[in-house]
Amino acid sequence: MPIITVTSENFKTEVLNSPKPVLLDFWATWCPPCMMQSPIIDEIAEQRADITVGKVNTDEQPMLAETFNVENIPTLVIIKDGNIKSRLVGLHTKEQILAEF
């Protein structure tokens, strides 16, 4: 499935109202660990049609980052049925991420 760019404008539709669990990746272009995490997130999006994957650029969406209390990036937030199920801060393997589902 394609990765969704999540913004304040589409957050409710794409994340809160998603029929599938959502993996949100909070990242920034200047963040080396984020760049290392990105291919792993891309792979999950390609391989797991049962998960909606969204990316939130914290520089472009500071209010969303603040809403989720993102203080360090990368931060991964898993949302199911509109509620936060899990949060991972820092670089994680594909296996670690998928274990949270």
Q: Which residues are catalytic?
A: 31, 34
Residues in the chain: 101
SS (H, E, C) the chain: CCCEECCCCCHHHHHHCCCCCEEEEEECCCCHHHHHHHHHHHHHHHHCCCCEEEEEECCCCHHHHHHCCCCCCCEEEEEECCEEEEEEECCCCHHHHHCCC
Question: CB–CB of 83/53 below 8 Å?
Answer: no
